[in-house]
Amino acid sequence: MKNKKWLLLLILVLPSTMWLILETSTINSKKLPIYGPRKVLASKDTAYYKVNDQFYALNEKDSSKQELIRLTTDAYPLYVVMFIKDAYKKNDLRLAGLSEYLNYKKQKIEHIPIVLITESENGRSDLQDELKKLAIGNNNVLFYTWNKQSFDSLNNSYFLQKPYYIDYSFFTLVDINRNIRGYYDGRYVAELKRLIDEYQHLRLKEEKNKLIKSNEIKTNT
């Protein structure tokens, strides 16, 4: 009987103990900014700007067909995206940092979904074909497109109210709520390292939140 009481006490105390450990851990010691427009609601909560997470996938067999793909939060709770215009062909240094990791340090980024968006016209994207050669053997790199006529509009939507020093070709880190959490200059390996660290930080934080919610449900039931 005494052992049962201890077991019951342990069941009741464990969720609170885990919450306390997680709250005081290094996961919460670092807070990444949320970029973009925001507004204060009547409830005094803050509503943050959300980006579009739908892009087009080209049909290699039939260029007249394109499929609109959504990066669902179940499959892609976080992702990194870069918009690459045809004009960037003359400046491949924009991808120098990523190229370094894809070729020599792929194990350090293979867990990160990296989305590369190129311009398409008449169902074709020559630049995408070139980029696929760069990413051979890297299944975490996803290739999508957007119509050339409205490409800038989508590109700019990921950089609304950006800091002045941020370029529209920077990598962008998007969280599970589809908020912008970071910008990274793809020319530099150091910037890619920062991206990896901050992605991992958000991933751990998301796992922590899932664990807390799971324990709350178990406690309530």
Residues 164-175 have pLDDT tens digits of 999 999 999 999
31 has a pLDDT exceeding 80: yes
Residue 142: enclosing H or E segment and its boundaries?
strand 141-147
Domain co-membership, 70 together with 86: yes
Higher-scoring residue by pLDDT: 20, 191:
191
Q: Is residue 85 part of a domain?
A: yes
How many angstroms separate the CA atoms of 219 and 221, rounded?
5
Find the CATH number of the domain harbouring 139.
3.40.30.10
Q: Is residue 69 part of a domain?
A: yes
Name 163's Cβ contacts closer than 8 Å, sequence gap at least 6. 35, 183
How many angstroms separate the CA atoms of 150 and 32, rounded?
30
**C-alpha 163 chain-centroid distance:** 19
Higher-scoring residue by pLDDT: 141, 27:
141
- Band of residue 19 on the pLDDT scale cut at 50, 70, 90: very low
The total domain count for the chain is 2
How many angstroms separate the CA atoms of 101 and 108, rounded?
8
DSSP 8-state assignment for residue 60: S
Domain co-membership, 6 together with 47: no
Domain co-membership, 63 together with 156: yes
Q: Is residue 201 part of a domain?
A: no
Q: How many CA atoms lie within 13 A of 117 on its CB side?
A: 29
Q: Which residue has the tokens 């939060």?
A: 73
Domain co-membership, 95 together with 16: no
- The total number of residues written for the chain in this structure: 221
Name the residue range of residue 169's domain: 38-195
How many angstroms separate the CA atoms of 71 and 59, rounded?
18
Q: Is residue 140 part of a domain?
A: yes
